[in-house]
């Protein structure tokens, strides 16, 4: 018995927690519209005025008919009044619709901006976990739901509430006894509506989650359409997409059924109440006609019209409540995203007066948050002195790129320290030190804007600086060969650049930052001979008199390096100059020999 009591208590507290949370969600949803308060108040006034015009118009309609019996003057006057009421009502309707829809757009625009701002500030590990399609879907579809709920539905909600309150007040005037009977049925509808709302909220959240998951498939397929085409896997992606859509459709079916049944239920209850009122009212009329206290026919008739109105408004209101709760469901994830604090902030921390590019790894161990089962770096220790070029080599998957990611502080190490300019990276302002580090990766990403804007992506620069950087990066000549020169738009709907050209623009982009530390991932293959030569030349030029950490693939690079670090399975297995390591005759020598015999450009031993 005690155990059962305990379970009951737990269930009760879970229920309580749920109600509390649901209230908090709803409150939060409304608080989103705080900046639109005055717009909503204006819309509300217009709404009340249009309701009033609807209520009084029939009264003057009757007056017009009556005045036709008296004189033409009276008729003209009444017609003018009626016309004025209709025009006034129409203007108020316009204001109401305009103001509420406008408030909705304002709200959703602000919400999207805030959400986007918070998403892009999350740490990189967040993007390993949450896929692009899912996040973009949250930005577009979930926010749309909130817009609908808070504007169109809100205005209808208010309209019906006013209608109900107004009617009930008038009903009390007509007959308090009958009003009591009608009001008794309200709690039943209200409880039903609350339960239904909770149910819809959860179902809608599942639906939106499912839709977001499908968004991932669509985004991946469309963005990698070339790979899809190469492997003729259109059918496969389509099947995958259809499967996801079918799953969301299944939830959609349940949503539809729930909505339908609820509407039916509300109608049954509210019309049942009307029948009850009719029975009780008729009994009162009967009593009145038999010398007992009762009511007249006329009173019952007008009361019935009111109760029908109230019943109809209640039905609408309950359905709207369901819509609202659906929006609350959709908003749960939005709030989670809005509230999420990045594990690694984008800014804040110390700035040094001067950065010499000195880099130290002290017993750094690291595991990717999304891949907890395997440690990627194990107690990695090394130093890059200012002005030196240090090369990282080793088999692919060994952890070289991870080292570069840690220097950019995309992730924090599990243990150990990374020092930049003698200071722990975690104490430095990321916004500051990231400006001092430039990265050139194997496959650089360029944005779909002009070449000039791509080169100045990291900082503002004048045309002279841009041309200077481009010349150093061996990019000036090919840029000038385009008709629009530096204003040529690249990428989507622009000029397609070759791998080598992209890389040279990326080098120019890095150079313009005049970095204290340059992180370089040498391109391996995929470049034509001419391009390869120009890229190599640019890279060699860039590396002079700079602190550089390079993931090396070329023999000439490692020969020039002041230190070569061999990384294998997350550990530093050898370290020294090219000459020292060759003499040692270990893994490094094997890698060099393999490259010499294979004649390939790839030093990684892949």
Q: Which residues bind ligand ADP (CB under 6 A)?
A: 128, 368, 370-371, 376, 396-402
Nearer to ligand ADP, 244 or 398 (CB): 398
Output the smallest distance, CB 391 to ligand ADP, in A.
Answer: 13
Output the smallest distance, CB 457 to ligand ADP, in A.
Answer: 23
H helices of 374-462, in order, are 400-407, 430-436, 451-455
Nearer to ligand ADP, 499 or 605 (CB): 605
491 in Cβ contact with 485 (< 8 Å): no
Output the smallest distance, CB 407 to ligand ADP, in A.
Answer: 12
Nearer to ligand ADP, 108 or 376 (CB): 376
Output the smallest distance, CB 348 to ligand ADP, in A.
Answer: 24
Output the smallest distance, CB 573 to ligand ADP, in A.
Answer: 12
| Angle, in degrees to the nearest 10, between helices 2-31 and 186-223 | 70
Output the smallest distance, CB 122 to ligand ADP, in A.
Answer: 14
Nearer to ligand ADP, 136 or 401 (CB): 401
Give the integer Cα–Cα distance in Å for 189 and 268: 10
Output the smallest distance, CB 421 to ligand ADP, in A.
Answer: 24
Nearer to ligand ADP, 349 or 586 (CB): 586
Output the smallest distance, CB 219 to ligand ADP, in A.
Answer: 18
* Burial class of residue 201 (count of CB atoms within 10 Å of its CB; 0-12, 13-18, 19+): buried
Encoded tokens for 351: 């700035």
Tracing tokens 């602000």 back to the chain, one arrives at: 110
Give the integer Cα–Cα distance in Å for 438 and 511: 8
Output the smallest distance, CB 400 to ligand ADP, in A.
Answer: 4
| Angle, in degrees to the nearest 10, between helices 297-339 and 2-31 | 90
Nearer to ligand ADP, 15 or 129 (CB): 129
Nearer to ligand ADP, 179 or 402 (CB): 402
568 in Cβ contact with 398 (< 8 Å): yes
Residues 6+ apart with CB under 8 A from 386: 356, 357, 358, 547
Nearer to ligand ADP, 159 or 554 (CB): 554
> Strands, DSSP E only, in 263-422?
359-367, 375-384, 389-393, 415-420
**DSSP notation for 68-128:** HTT-HHHHHHHHHHHHHHHHHHHHHHHHHHHHHHHHHHHHHHHHHHHHHHHHHTS-HHHHH
Output the smallest distance, CB 115 to ligand ADP, in A.
Answer: 24
Nearest to 143 by CA among 167, 190, 171, 110: 110
Output the smallest distance, CB 371 to ligand ADP, in A.
Answer: 4
* Burial class of residue 464 (count of CB atoms within 10 Å of its CB; 0-12, 13-18, 19+): exposed
Output the smallest distance, CB 570 to ligand ADP, in A.
Answer: 7
Nearer to ligand ADP, 206 or 401 (CB): 401
170 in Cβ contact with 296 (< 8 Å): no
Nearer to ligand ADP, 233 or 401 (CB): 401
Nearer to ligand ADP, 111 or 403 (CB): 403
361 in Cβ contact with 416 (< 8 Å): yes
Give the integer Cα–Cα distance in Å for 21 and 178: 38
Output the smallest distance, CB 343 to ligand ADP, in A.
Answer: 15
Give the integer Cα–Cα distance in Å for 94 and 91: 5
Give the integer Cα–Cα distance in Å for 430 and 435: 8
Output the smallest distance, CB 523 to ligand ADP, in A.
Answer: 14
Nearer to ligand ADP, 370 or 597 (CB): 370
Give the integer Cα–Cα distance in Å for 333 and 235: 32
Sign of torsion over alpha carbons 18, 23, 26, 27: negative
103 in Cβ contact with 43 (< 8 Å): yes
Output the smallest distance, CB 392 to ligand ADP, in A.
Answer: 8
Nearer to ligand ADP, 316 or 572 (CB): 572
Nearer to ligand ADP, 400 or 502 (CB): 400
Cα angle: 299, vertex 301, 306; to 5 degrees? 95
| Residue 47 Cα distances to 40, 52, 92, 99, angstroms | 10, 9, 7, 10
H helices of 32-71, in order, are 37-68
Nearer to ligand ADP, 107 or 407 (CB): 407
Give the integer Cα–Cα distance in Å for 524 and 396: 12
């Amino acid at each position: 018995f005690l155990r059962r009591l305990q379970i009951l208590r737990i269930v009760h507290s879970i229920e309580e927690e749920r109600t509390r949370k649901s209230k908090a969600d709803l409150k939060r949803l409304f608080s989103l519209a705080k900046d639109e308060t005055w717009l909503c108040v204006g819309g509300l006034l217009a709404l009340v005025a249009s309701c009033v015009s609807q209520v009084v118009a029939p009264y003057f309609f009757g007056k017009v008919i009556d005045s036709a019996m008296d004189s033409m003057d009276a008729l003209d006057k009444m017609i003018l009044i009626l016309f004025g009421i209709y025009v006034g009502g129409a203007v108020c309707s316009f204001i109401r619709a305009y103001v509420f829809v406008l408030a909705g757009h304002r709200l959703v625009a602000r919400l999207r901006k805030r959400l986007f701002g918070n998403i892009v500030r999350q740490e990189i590990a967040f993007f390993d976990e949450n896929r692009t399609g899912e996040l973009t879907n949250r930005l577009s579809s979930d926010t749309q739901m909130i817009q609908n709920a808070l504007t169109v539905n809100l205005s209808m909600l208010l309209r019906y509430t006013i209608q109900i309150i107004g009617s009930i007040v008038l009903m009390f005037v007509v007959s308090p006894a009958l009003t009591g009977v009608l009001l008794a049925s309200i709690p039943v509808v209200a409880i039903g509506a609350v339960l239904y709302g909770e149910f819809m909220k959860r179902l809608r959240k599942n639906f939106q989650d499912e839709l977001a998951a499908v968004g991932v498939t669509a985004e991946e397929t469309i963005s990698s359409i070339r790979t899809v085409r190469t492997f003729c896997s259109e059918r496969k992606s389509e099947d995958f997409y259809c499967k996801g859509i079918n799953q969301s459709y299944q939830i959609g079916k349940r949503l539809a059924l729930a909505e339908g049944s609820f509407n039916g239920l509300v109608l049954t209850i509210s019309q049942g109440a009307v029948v009850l009122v009719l029975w009780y009212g008729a009994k009162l009329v009967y009593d009145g006609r038999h010398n007992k206290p009762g009511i007249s026919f006329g009173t019952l008739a007008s009361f019935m019209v009111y109760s029908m109105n109230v019943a109809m408004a209640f039905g609408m209101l309950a359905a709207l409540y369901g819509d609202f709760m659906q929006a609350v469901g959709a908003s749960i994830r939005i709030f989670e995203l809005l509230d999420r604090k990045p594990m690694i902030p984008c800014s804040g921390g110390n700035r040094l007066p001067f950065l010499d590019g000195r880099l130290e790894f002290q017993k750094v161990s690291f595991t990717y948050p999304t891949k907890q089962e395997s440690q990627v770096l194990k107690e990695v220790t090394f130093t890059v002195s200012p002005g030196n070029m240090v090369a990282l080599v080793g088999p692919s998957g060994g952890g070289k790129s991870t080292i570069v990611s840690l220097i950019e502080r995309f992730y924090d190490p599990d243990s150990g320290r990374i020092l930049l300019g003698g200071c722990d990276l975690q104490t430095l302002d990321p916004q500051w030190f990231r400006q001092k580090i430039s990265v050139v990766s194997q496959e650089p990403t360029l944005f779909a804007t002009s070449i000039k804007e791509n080169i100045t992506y990291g900082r503002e620069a004048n045309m002279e600086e841009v041309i200077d950087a481009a010349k150093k990066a061996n990019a000036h000549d090919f840029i000038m060969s385009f008709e629009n020169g530096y204003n040529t738009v690249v990428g989507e709907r622009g000029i397609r650049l070759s791998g080598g050209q992209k890389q040279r623009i990326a080098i120019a982009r890095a150079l313009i930052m005049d970095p204290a530390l340059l992180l370089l991932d040498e391109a391996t293959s995929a470049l034509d001979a001419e391009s390869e030569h120009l890229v190599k030349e640019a890279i060699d030029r860039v590396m002079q008199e700079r602190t550089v950490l390079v993931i090396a693939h070329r023999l000439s690079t490692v020969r020039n390096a002041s230190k070569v670090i061999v990384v294998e399975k997350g550990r530093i297995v050898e370290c020294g100059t090219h000459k020292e390591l060759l003499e040692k005759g270990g893994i490094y020598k094997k890698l060099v020999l393999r490259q010499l015999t294979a004649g390939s450009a790839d030093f990684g031993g892949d």
